[in-house]
């Protein structure tokens, strides 16, 4: 065969150029999973069967998927349609990439949720006829399960409240519009009242907003509650504020409509300290400016970090590469990465109040040296503005959906149409270049874990890095309005790896010592080898 003498050289050049572009390309990749699931993913919750319960609101107008079994809702108080035969909730199966409609009849708009110790989603409140409803979704392996709604179960209306699971397995429901108090679920004679929480009225903005406060369960059993620019530690049992933290540096607002986001950074053995990260948001007058004059002010570029267990804590401020409001923050299974995704770079949350979608996610690495913690990721082309969401899946991908900045579904003649799609963002650790480092869990001694007790995991891996191995546990979070309720990550105390003759590796890990650190329920357990996580397995602790 006669080839031109230049061909080998050109091939070499081509591969060289490919290598360069690969090196220069931003990390992570996007895949469109579903162009249209019928509803807009305003709220998302992964359950331990790898299916995601997704819902928006019943008064958005006609969705793009019919209610099961030819049902219709008739609701004379409904503001969009008094008869609506479409569904406003679906179950998405992350394994088969398929979905089915669910039946939710009362309004779930801007509600909150928690997964109970038995793995059922307990979702609370909403709007109008749904504001005091508690809805339970008990997952099943076939397609027979659906929502069960119980009317007027909450003591007061909960619209834009934040929930958190507690060490005893119950849920606390905090705040909501014009609710400066909290209550508990399940309802027993002891939980039929509400408890005042003046901190919420003290921190509201001029429009009476500080909705969806950021709530994290600290290692001492108290709740860290962050509202706009202030934060406290709440002893919910005694109804007492036990600590008041300094206001976050820069007087701007971080809660709805100035929606920033927040995570409790990974908790590591010996679990002696806890640190909170708050990123993004908008200046106080951003909402008024967008609403009255159509001026979209640049969102905040800062993140604040606070060691909430320090004796004299102070906020340490860092600057993101881009401004962001309505971003979602996710703890990734590596235990070393916080993904900041979705949102906009100007305006605020609310109808038609944001511009300049944030197409580019940012990775934040809490353990990296200050000044080199942020890294821009591959961009999407889909705007994910108000009412978008993002959650971690067991295989390490991030499921992204939603965006509807309009009062009803609006698919045409608008700048940012209502979005019914689902995408997956796959962080760089899922790239095939990392295949050799990716562990695969083969067996686990038991998926029923006990507090403080050892369990063992057997795994295979191409290239084992004994010094860079960890075992991490993550519960599935309830995501809505840029905040993931109940999100936490526990790095477990792990033994040295023992490799047997057949090449199988075994690591012994100690389950978290208490329900304060890991409230009861289902968790995804990951083995991480030199920063590359395995696919998780579901385990239960109680």
Ligand X SMILES: *[C@@H]1O[C@H](CO)[C@@H](O)[C@H](O)[C@H]1NC(C)=O
Residue 513 touching ligand X (CB under 6 A): no
Q: What is the 3-state secondary structure (H, E, C) of 331-391?
A: ECCCCCCEEEECCEEEECCCCCCEEEECCCCEEECCCCCCCCCEEECCCCCCCCCCCEEEE
* CB 401 to ligand X: min, Å: 17
Which x/- pattern, by CB under 6 A, does the window 228-257 give for ligand X? xx-----------------x---x------
State the SS3 of 344-359.
EEEECCCCCCEEEECC
Residue nearest ligand X, CB atom distance: 251
- Judged by CB under 6 A, the chain residues 8 through 67 that form the site for ligand X are 61-62, 64-66
498 near ligand X, judged by CB under 6 A:
no
Host H or E run for residue 20: helix 7-24
Q: Which is nearer to ligand X, 71 or 450 (CB)?
A: 71
- Choose one: 335-343, 408-416, 473-481, 506-514; the region binding ligand X (CB under 6 A): 408-416
- Nearer CB in complex with ligand X: 420/471: 420
**Shortest distance, position 213 Cβ to ligand X, whole Å:** 13
Burial 178-213 (b: 16+ CB within 10 A, else e): ebbbbbbbeeeeeeeebbebebbbebbbeeebbbbb
- Restricted to residues 431-490, the positions that interact with ligand X (CB under 6 A) are none
Write the DSSP assignment of 166-220 as a string of letters: -TTS-EEEE--TT--EEEEES--GGGSS-EE-HHHHHT--TTS--BS-EEEE-TT
CB of 186 to ligand X, least distance (A): 35
Q: Cβ of residue 79: shortest distance to ligand X, in angstroms?
A: 12
Determine, following the binding rule CB under 6 A, whether residue 316 of this chain makes contact with ligand X: no
Least Cβ distance, residue 60 to ligand X (angstroms): 9
Query: Beta strand 537-541 with 448-449: parallel, antiparallel or unpaired?
Result: parallel
Does 410 participate in binding ligand X (rule CB under 6 A)?
yes
> x/- binding map, residues 188-207, to ligand X, per CB under 6 A?
-----------------x--
Which residues does residue 122 pair with via DSSP β-bridges, in sequence order?
Answer: 114, 136
CA atoms of 13 and 341, how far apart (whole Å):
36
Q: Does 413 bind ligand X (CB under 6 A)?
A: yes
Cis peptide before 257 (omega within 30 of 0): yes
Taking every pair of Cα atoms in the chain, the longest distance, rounded to a whole number of angstroms, is: 89
Question: Is residue 408 a contact point for ligand X (CB under 6 A)?
Answer: yes
Q: How many residues bind ligand X (CB under 6 A)?
A: 15
Using CB under 6 A as the criterion, which residues of the chain lie in contact with ligand X when the complex forms?
A: 61-62, 64-66, 86, 205, 228-229, 247, 251, 408, 410, 413-414
């Amino acid at each position: 065969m006669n080839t031109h003498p230049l061909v080998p050289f050109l091939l070499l050049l081509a591969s060289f150029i490919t290598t360069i572009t690969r090196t220069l390309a931003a990390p992570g990749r996007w895949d469109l999973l579903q162009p249209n699931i019928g509803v807009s993913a305003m709220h998302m919750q992964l359950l331990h069967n790898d299916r995601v319960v997704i819902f928006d609101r019943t008064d958005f107008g006609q969705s793009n998927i019919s209610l099961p079994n030819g049902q219709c809702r008739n609701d004379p108080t409904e503001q969009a349609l008094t008869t609506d035969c479409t569904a406003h909730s679906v179950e998405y199966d992350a394994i088969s990439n398929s979905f089915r409609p669910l039946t939710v009849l009362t309004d779930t708009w801007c509600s909150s949720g928690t997964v109970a110790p038995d793995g059922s989603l307990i979702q609370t409140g909403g709007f109008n006829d749904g504001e005091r409803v508690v809805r339970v979704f008990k997952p099943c392996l076939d397609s027979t399960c659906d929502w069960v709604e119980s009317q007027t179960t909450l003591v007061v209306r909960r619209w834009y409240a934040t929930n958190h699971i507690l060490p005893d397995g119950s849920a606390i429901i905090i705040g909501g519009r014009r609710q400066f108090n909290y209550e508990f679920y399940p309802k027993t004679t002891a939980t039929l009242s509400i408890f005042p929480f003046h901190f919420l009225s003290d921190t509201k903005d001029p429009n009476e907003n500080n909705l969806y406060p950021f709530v994290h369960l600290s290692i001492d059993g108290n709740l860290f509650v962050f509202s706009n620019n202030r934060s406290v530690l709440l002893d919910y049992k005694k109804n007492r504020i036990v600590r008041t933290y300094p206001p976050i540096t820069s007087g701007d607002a971080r809660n709805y409509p100035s929606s920033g986001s927040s995570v409790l950074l990974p908790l590591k053995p010996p679990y002696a300290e806890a640190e909170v990260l708050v990123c993004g948001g908008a200046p106080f007058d951003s909402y008024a400016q967008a609403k009255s004059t159509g001026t979209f002010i640049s969102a905040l570029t800062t993140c604040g970090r606070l060691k909430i267990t320090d004796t004299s804590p102070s906020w340490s401020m860092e600057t993101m590469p881009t401004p962001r409001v309505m971003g979602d923050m996710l703890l990734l299974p590596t235990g070393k990465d916080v993904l900041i995704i979705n949102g906009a770079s100007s305006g605020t949350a609310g109808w038609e109040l944001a511009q300049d979608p944030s197409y580019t996610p940012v990775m934040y690495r809490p353990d990296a040296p200050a000044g080199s913690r942020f890294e821009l990721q591959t961009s999407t082309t889909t705007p994910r503005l108000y009412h978008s969401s993002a959650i971690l899946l067991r295989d390490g991908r991030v499921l992204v959906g939603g965006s509807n900045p309009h009062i009803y579904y609006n698919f045409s003649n608008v700048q940012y149409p209502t979005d019914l799609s689902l995408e997956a963002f796959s962080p760089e650790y899922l790239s095939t270049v990392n295949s050799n480092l990716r562990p695969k869990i083969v067996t686990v001694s038991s998926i029923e874990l006990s507090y403080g007790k050892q369990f063992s995991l057997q795994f295979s891996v191409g290239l084992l890095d004994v010094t860079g191995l960890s075992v991490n546990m993550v519960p599935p979070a309830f995501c809505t309005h840029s905040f993931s309720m109940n999100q936490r990550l526990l790095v477990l105390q792990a033994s040295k790896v023992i490799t047997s003759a057949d090449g199988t590796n075994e690591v012994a890990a100690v389950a978290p010592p208490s329900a304060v650190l890991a409230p009861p329920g289902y968790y995804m357990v990951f083995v991480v080898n030199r920063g590359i996580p395995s696919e998780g397995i579901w385990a239960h602790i109680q």
